[in-house]
Amino acid sequence: MEVKFVTPTKPDAVRVQKRAEKINTTPVVGTPTRKSPVRPLSGKPPVDLPEGQEHGQPKIYWHHKCRCDACTLAVRAYNRALLEKKKALEEENRK
| Rounded distance between C-alpha atoms, residue 68 and residue 61, angstroms | 8
pLDDT tens track for 7-46: 666 665 555 556 666 666 666 666 666 666 778 888 888 8
Counting Cβ atoms within 10 Å, is residue 69 exposed (0-12), middle (13-18) or buried (19+)?
middle
pLDDT tens readout for residues 36-59: 677 888 888 888 988 999 999 999
pLDDT band at residue 94 under the 50/70/90 scheme: confident
Would you say the pTM of this structure is higher than 0.75? no
